[in-house]
């Protein structure tokens, strides 16, 4: 019965979603909702009142419209609750391993530990789409409950936009990916879950990323709402900003965590593979980062109106493109689990409908978006425009690199793979340029800046970069140009990003300024980690006999023993490595695991983290003569990559808290002085 | 009036900049693709087209039965990749992924050396028995290397 209850909840949710959309359209067809009518009536001439009632075609739509508008919020909330209920029921099915449900039989297994039974519910196509829809409608409900700043009509249009998106994905779930389908007769045992995904990382990584992905739908709906009601201005930007920030924080954390997960789980020693699935999460992040900055220009200086709306549309479009890539199964990627063209074309149709629709609306309404205030080319706004342009170009490069092989294969049948060399050489230099703009931007004034004072403020950071470059050239082993520049620049970013704090009273510095400083500093930290990893990593691949010692960088690694072992649903060969670099020896135990449901081998890397980097060890298979394959890396300062990612997320969080506090304070002040 | 003109002008400038950025991105991407993209080849393609040594390519086919030889260093293997019509020798140093075995499909990234030997940097792992790179699925008709559900159950 649980599965049926889940399906009913889903259908009810879809029905409420349709109702939400209809209510929105009815409300917006009424020229003004009640509160605005009252406001207008007070000041308007009798003629204006007459025209108001005329345009409702004689029906009593004014008060009705207000009633309808009142109903929209509860409907949105109920819809959010219903999808959560459906998702909770699916999780329950997975925890109880109900093998009469097809999805559970395919992806669950009774011998699997609790956490992975729990996480298995979203480690598959249908479950992850249900999670997607749940987050989408919860985001809509959150807007309905929390958003008080926006004018009522724009808010209603926003909720309508959210409902319009959700409706398509409800249809996709119910008609093409029903997670609650029954299996008759029930299976004797589940087919298990991809062992690679049996990792604590899976329990937290996809939900985090999905909240970020789908959270951007709110920005999309805001953009649609503002276009529909012709209400693009600073107030709209201030209302939209926390939502964008929230989604962006989750995206940042999700990408960072995903990168670390791939790093230790795949056992390839890399932290970013430019895999299409990774790109699918990077593209929304790039667009959201651009949006985050342009929305600030709109909120603070009333500039970049049309551009901000456009980015709101683009950011969530990238989320949908990502969903399409991952969920349609068209990728040549370890992440794409199944091939099912019917689902692919369904998703493609949704994609075309929503992105196309939003772009048409943009084209129709952009003429009514007034020009914002102007600024000099050399100004904070100018720097933010440069930031946006560079992010857009990088986004374009990633998008082309990700889609081109698919399109080419579709059109000509030629098969082609686009890998790290393309992305690094095309996007790398631009990213460094972007970092420089990032340092300069916060040191500029709004509206107009003069060259000389700016150069004076930039001088310390620039000097540090030069010193760092010379020092690296002199003392470090020869390294490639891009890592060299990246490493040198990271020092400049570190100094330049905290420079906005110089000469300020730190206690009175607003929290959101701290947020910006921390996030920018995090970029410098992450960049340093990336540069060190690609410049200084030492790799050793050997077949070692038990008792043999292998030097890697400063480390000496001794293969002490290899012993068989077992776990709940796997057997393994476990090696014991004694590692030391002058101090007391430490022990690492990399494993090669053999899962039996489904039969798969994985390698469980073992990583030793020290203050200046990580020693990464992988056990391979047995070679002749009783030797064992070992792959060892010494990766100096590689940890900075994820530390930087964490700082970026923390910066976003501080900024979000800062903005919310500031708003609450000014709302209180308004009440006091009203 | 003059300021309004100027306002229009700035908006136009920004729009043009955005368009220029997009065109720039497309051009940059296309030129990088020309240099950096690795095309997928089957052994027959390799015989037909003359590949410059050192160019990054992706080779796909079937591992010839009985062709895997292990070199004395314990980490290097040599094997033959075939598509039925032609055969290419491959050398790979590293830990071979799970499910890499004789008679099953394989995709390898790497480059040819001057002697016609394909030196693989990476053999693409097939991590899930339900997942198969479409390139392999397309190049071979139907590989029987994929263990399906029943076998999984039988093993259990």
B95 shares a domain with B121? yes
Residue B154 lies in a domain: no
> Which residues between 230 and 289 in chain A have a beta carbon less than 8 angstroms from any beta carbon of chain B?
267
Contact list, A631 vs chain B (CB under 8 Å): 94-95
Is there a contact between B138 and A603 if contact means CB atoms under 8 Å apart?
Answer: no
Q: Which residue of A has its CA nearest to B19?
A: A389
Q: Say yes or no: A183 contacts chain B, CB-CB below 8 A.
A: no
Q: Say yes or no: A597 contacts chain B, CB-CB below 8 A.
A: yes
Nearest by CB to residue A336, choosing from B29, B32, B131, is: B131
Name residues whose C-beta falls within 8 Å of residue A630's C-beta, 6 or more positions apart in sequence: A540, A541, A542, A543, A544, A550, A557, A559, A575, A577, A617, A618, A619, A620
CA distance A446 to A390: 20
CA distance A544 to A559: 7
Nearest by CB to residue A392, choosing from B10, B21, B40, is: B21
Phi, psi of A110 (to 5 degrees): -70, -20
Distance of CA A163 to the CA centre of its chain: 21
Is there a contact between A389 and B38 if contact means CB atoms under 8 Å apart?
Answer: no
A231 shares a domain with A117? no
B137 shares a domain with B116? yes
Q: What is the pLDDT of residue A597?
A: 66
Is there a contact between B38 and A603 if contact means CB atoms under 8 Å apart?
Answer: no
Picking from B65, B62, B57, B30, the residue whose alpha carbon sits closest to that of residue B118 is: B57
CA A445 to chain B, closest CA, distance in angstroms equals 19
Picking from A209, A169, A247, the residue whose alpha carbon sits closest to that of residue A335 is: A209
Q: Which residue of B has its CA nearest to A398?
A: B29
B139 shares a domain with B118? yes
Q: What is the pLDDT of residue A125?
A: 85
Contact between A136 and A165 (Cβ < 8 Å)? yes
Nearest by CB to residue A422, choosing from B18, B25, B36, is: B36
Contact list, A599 vs chain B (CB under 8 Å): 129, 147, 151-152, 155
The count of domains in chain B is 2
CA distance A654 to B54: 49
Residue B155 lies in a domain: no
Residue B156 lies in a domain: no
**How would DSSP label each residue in A341-360?**
HHHHHHHHHHHHHHHHHHHH
Beta-bridged to residue B87, according to DSSP, are: B82
Contact list, B156 vs chain A (CB under 8 Å): 189, 596-597
Beta-bridged to residue A601, according to DSSP, are: A594
Site from A341, A385, A600 to mutate, B interface, most B CB atoms within 10 angstroms: A600
Site from B134, B140, B142 to mutate, A interface, most A CB atoms within 10 angstroms: B134
Contact between A544 and A627 (Cβ < 8 Å)? yes
A315 shares a domain with A219? yes
Is there a contact between B36 and A620 if contact means CB atoms under 8 Å apart?
Answer: no
B79 shares a domain with B17? no
A33 shares a domain with A159? yes
A253 shares a domain with A185? no
Site from B17, B21, B142, B146 to mutate, A interface, most A CB atoms within 10 angstroms: B21
Average pLDDT value for chain B: 74
> Which residues between 382 and 441 in chain A have a beta carbon less than 8 angstroms from any beta carbon of chain B?
385, 389-390, 392-397, 400-401, 404-405, 414-419, 421-422, 425-426
Name residues whose C-beta falls within 8 Å of residue B132's C-beta, 6 or more positions apart in sequence: A339, B105, B126, B143, B146
Residue B115 lies in a domain: yes
Q: What is the pLDDT of residue A112?
A: 81
Contact list, A390 vs chain B (CB under 8 Å): 21
B56 shares a domain with B21? no
Domain boundary among A168, A198, A228: A198
- Prior bond to A255 cis, omega within 30? no
Nearest by CB to residue A422, choosing from B33, B98, B151, is: B33
Contact list, A602 vs chain B (CB under 8 Å): 98, 127
Residue A531 lies in a domain: no
CA B127 to chain A, closest CA, distance in angstroms equals 7
Is there a contact between B94 and A631 if contact means CB atoms under 8 Å apart?
Answer: yes
Phi, psi of A276 (to 5 degrees): -55, -35
Q: pTM for this one?
A: 0.88
Give the model confidence (pLDDT) of A274-291 as tens digits: 888 889 999 999 999 999
Q: Which residue of B has its CA nearest to A602?
A: B98
Contact list, B147 vs chain A (CB under 8 Å): 598-599
Contact list, B11 vs chain A (CB under 8 Å): 371
3-state secondary structure A501-515: HCCCCCCCCCHHHHH
B123 shares a domain with B86? yes
Site from B3, B19, B28 to mutate, A interface, most A CB atoms within 10 angstroms: B28
**How would DSSP label each residue in B55-85?**
--EEEEEEEPTT--EE-TTSSEEEEEEE-SS
ipTM of the complex: 0.75
> Which residues between 292 and 351 in chain A have a beta carbon less than 8 angstroms from any beta carbon of chain B?
304, 307, 330, 332, 334, 336-339
Nearest by CB to residue B10, choosing from A374, A404, A415, is: A374
Beta strands in A354-437 (DSSP E): 416-417
Torsion of CA A218, A220, A226, A229, to 10 degrees: -100
Contact list, B34 vs chain A (CB under 8 Å): none
CA A383 to chain B, closest CA, distance in angstroms equals 13
Q: What is the pLDDT of residue B52?
A: 79
Beta-bridged to residue B123, according to DSSP, are: B108
DSSP 8-state class, residue A441: G
Q: What is the pLDDT of residue A674?
A: 63
Contact between A586 and A608 (Cβ < 8 Å)? yes
A92 shares a domain with A1? yes
Q: Reduce the DSSP state of residue A533 to 3 states and report it.
A: helix
What range does the domain containing B9 cover? 1-37
B63 shares a domain with B13? no
A361 shares a domain with A328? yes
Residue B15 lies in a domain: yes
Q: Say yes or no: A367 contacts chain B, CB-CB below 8 A.
A: no
Name residues whose C-beta falls within 8 Å of residue A432's C-beta, 6 or more positions apart in sequence: A482, A485, A486, A489
B92 shares a domain with B19? no
Nearest by CB to residue A396, choosing from B22, B75, B125, is: B22
Q: Which residue of A has its CA nearest to B123?
A: A268
Contact between A563 and A574 (Cβ < 8 Å)? yes
Phi, psi of A97 (to 5 degrees): 50, 60
Contact between A370 and A226 (Cβ < 8 Å)? no
B16 shares a domain with B45? no
Q: Say yes or no: A196 contacts chain B, CB-CB below 8 A.
A: yes
Is there a contact between A374 and B6 if contact means CB atoms under 8 Å apart?
Answer: yes
A463 shares a domain with A425? no
A274 shares a domain with A407? yes
Site from A416, A447, A571, A604 to mutate, B interface, most B CB atoms within 10 angstroms: A416
Phi, psi of B100 (to 5 degrees): -85, 115
Residue A532 lies in a domain: no
Q: What is the pLDDT of residue A197?
A: 65
Find the helix or strand (DSSP H, E) in which A288 lies: helix A276-301
Q: What is the pLDDT of residue A63?
A: 59
| A472 half-sphere exposure, CB direction, 13 A CA radius | 24
B7 shares a domain with B32? yes
Q: What is the pLDDT of residue A42?
A: 42
Give the model confidence (pLDDT) of A293-329 as tens digits: 999 999 988 888 899 999 999 999 999 998 888 877 6
CA distances from A445 to A91, A143, A414, A450 (A): 52, 33, 51, 9
Contact between B97 and B126 (Cβ < 8 Å)? yes
Contact between A446 and A410 (Cβ < 8 Å)? no
Contact list, A191 vs chain B (CB under 8 Å): 149, 152-153
A300 shares a domain with A232? yes
Is there a contact between B70 and A400 if contact means CB atoms under 8 Å apart?
Answer: no
Is there a contact between A336 and B70 if contact means CB atoms under 8 Å apart?
Answer: no
Beta strands in B24-151 (DSSP E): 38-41, 57-63, 69-70, 76-82, 87-93, 105-112, 118-123
Q: At B154, is the pLDDT very low, low, confident or very high (cuts 50, 70, 90)?
A: very low
Residue B150 lies in a domain: no
Q: pLDDT below 70 — which residues of chain A?
A: 31-65, 193-197, 329, 331-341, 597-598, 674
Phi, psi of A591 (to 5 degrees): -125, 155
Residue A626 lies in a domain: yes
Contact between A251 and A645 (Cβ < 8 Å)? no
Mean pLDDT of the B100-121 span:
87
CA distance A623 to A591: 16
Q: What is the CATH number of the domain that holds B55?
A: 2.40.50.140
B72 shares a domain with B10? no
Residue B151 lies in a domain: no
B100 shares a domain with B116? yes
Nearest by CB to residue A426, choosing from B28, B38, B75, is: B28
What range does the domain containing A650 cover? 450-526+642-673
Q: Which residue of A has its CA nearest to B16?
A: A389
A393 shares a domain with A458? no
Q: Which long-range contacts (CB under 8 A, 24 or more apart) does A478-483 make?
A: A479/A535, A479/A536, A480/A534, A480/A535, A482/A424, A482/A428, A482/A429, A482/A432, A482/A531, A482/A534, A483/A530, A483/A531, A483/A532, A483/A534, A483/A535
Beta-bridged to residue A559, according to DSSP, are: A577
Count of CB pairs separated by less than 8 Å, A with B: 174
Angle at B93 between CA B91 and CA B97, to 5 degrees: 100
Residue A533 lies in a domain: no
The count of domains in chain A is 4
A401 shares a domain with A482? no
CA B123 to chain A, closest CA, distance in angstroms equals 11
Q: At B6, is the pLDDT very low, low, confident or very high (cuts 50, 70, 90)?
A: low
Residue B127 lies in a domain: yes
Q: What is the pLDDT of residue A44?
A: 40
A206 shares a domain with A308? yes
Nearest by CB to residue A597, choosing from B109, B133, B156, is: B156
Contact list, A386 vs chain B (CB under 8 Å): none
């Amino acid at each position: 019965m649980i599965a049926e209850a889940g399906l009913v909840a889903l259908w009810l949710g879809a029905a409420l979603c349709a109702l939400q959309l209809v209510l929105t359209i009815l409300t917006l067809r009424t020229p003004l909702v009640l509160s605005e009518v009252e406001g207008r009536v007070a000041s308007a001439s009798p003629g204006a009142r007459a025209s108001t009632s005329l345009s409702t075609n004689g029906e009593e739509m004014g008060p009705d419209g207000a009633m309808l508008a009142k109903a929209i919020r509860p409907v949105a909330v109920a819809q959010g609750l219903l999808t959560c209920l459906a998702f909770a029921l699916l999780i329950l099915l997975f925890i109880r391993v109900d093998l009469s449900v097809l999805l559970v039989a395919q992806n669950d297994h009774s011998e699997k530990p609790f956490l992975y039974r729990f996480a298995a519910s979203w480690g598959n196509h249908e479950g992850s789409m249900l999670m997607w829809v749940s987050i989408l409608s919860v985001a809509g409900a959150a807007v309905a409950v929390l958003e008080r700043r926006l004018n009522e009509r724009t808010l209603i249009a926003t909720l309508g936009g959210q409902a319009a998106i959700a409706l398509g994905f409800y249809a996709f779930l119910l008609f093409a990916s029903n997670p609650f389908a029954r299996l008759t007769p029930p299976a004797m045992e589940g087919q298990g879950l991809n062992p690679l995904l049996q990792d604590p990382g899976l329990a937290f990584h996809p939900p985090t990323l999905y909240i970020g992905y789908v959270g951007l739908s709110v920005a999309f709906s805001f953009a649609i709402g503002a276009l529909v009601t012709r209400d693009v201005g600073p107030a709209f930007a201030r209302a939209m900003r926390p939502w964008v920030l929230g989604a962006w924080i989750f995206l940042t954390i999700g990408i960072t965590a995903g990168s670390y997960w791939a790093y230790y789980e795949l056992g390839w020693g890399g932290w970013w593979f430019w895999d299409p699935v990774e790109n699918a999460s990077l593209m929304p992040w790039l667009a959201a980062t651009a949006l985050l900055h342009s929305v600030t220009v709109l909120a603070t200086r009333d500039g970049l109106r049309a551009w901000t709306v456009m980015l709101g549309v683009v950011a969530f479009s990238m989320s949908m493109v990502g969903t399409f890539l991952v969920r349609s199964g068209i990728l040549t990627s370890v992440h794409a689990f199944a091939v099912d063209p019917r689902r692919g074309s369904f998703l493609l149709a949704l994609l075309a409908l929503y992105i196309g629709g939003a772009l048409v609306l943009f084209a129709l309404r952009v003429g009514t978006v007034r020009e914002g205030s102007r600024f000099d080319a050399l100004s904070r706004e100018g720097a933010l425009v440069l930031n946006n342009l560079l992010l857009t170009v990088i986004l374009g490069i990633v998008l082309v690199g990700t889609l081109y092989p698919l399109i080419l294969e579709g059109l000509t049948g030629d098969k082609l793979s686009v890998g790290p060399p393309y992305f690094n050489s095309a996007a790398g230099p631009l990213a460094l340029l972007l970092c420089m703009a990032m340092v300069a931007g916060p040191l500029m004034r709004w509206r107009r800046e003069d060259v000389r004072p700016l150069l004076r403020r930039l001088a310390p950071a620039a000097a540090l970069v030069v010193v760092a470059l010379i020092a690296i050239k002199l003392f470090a082993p020869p390294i490639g140009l891009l890592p060299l520049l990246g490493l040198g620049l990271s020092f400049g970013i570190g100094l330049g990003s905290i420079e906005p704090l110089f000469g300020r009273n730190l206690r009175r510095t607003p929290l959101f300024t701290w947020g910006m400083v921390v996030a920018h500093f995090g970029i410098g930290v992450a960049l340093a980690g990336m540069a060190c990893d690609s410049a200084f990593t030492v790799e050793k691949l050997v077949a070692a006999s038990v008792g043999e010692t292998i030097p890697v960088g400063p480390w000496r690694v001794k293969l002490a023993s290899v012993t068989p072992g077992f776990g709940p649903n796997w057997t393994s060969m476990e090696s014991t490595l004694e590692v030391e670099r002058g101090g007391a020896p430490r022990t690492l135990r990399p494993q090669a695991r053999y899962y039996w449901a489904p039969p798969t081998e994985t390698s469980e890397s073992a990583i030793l983290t020290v203050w200046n980097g990580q020693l990464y060890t992988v056990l391979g298979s047995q070679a002749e003569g009783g030797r064992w394959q070992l792959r060892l890396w010494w990766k100096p300062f590689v940890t900075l990559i994820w530390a930087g990612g964490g700082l970026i997320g923390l910066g976003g969080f501080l900024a979000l808290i800062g903005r919310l506090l500031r708003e609450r304070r000014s709302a209180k002040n308004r009440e006091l002085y009203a | 009036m003059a300021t309004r003109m100027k306002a229009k002008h700035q908006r136009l400038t920004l729009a043009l900049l955005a368009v220029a950025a997009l065109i720039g991105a497309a051009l940059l991407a296309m030129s990088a693709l020309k240099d950096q993209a690795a095309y997928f080849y089957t052994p027959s393609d390799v015989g037909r087209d003359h590949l410059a040594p050192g160019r990054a390519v992706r080779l796909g086919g079937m591992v010839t039965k009985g062709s895997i030889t292990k070199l004395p260093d314990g980490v290097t293997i040599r094997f033959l990749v075939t598509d039925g019509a032609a055969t290419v020798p491959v050398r790979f140093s590293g830990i071979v992924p799970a499910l890499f075995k004789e008679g099953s499909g394989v995709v390898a990234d790497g480059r040819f050396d001057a002697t016609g030997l394909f030196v693989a940097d990476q053999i693409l792992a097939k991590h899930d028995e339900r997942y198969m790179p479409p390139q392999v699925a397309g190049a071979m008709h139907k590989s029987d290397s994929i263990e399906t559900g029943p076998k999984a159950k039988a093993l259990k």
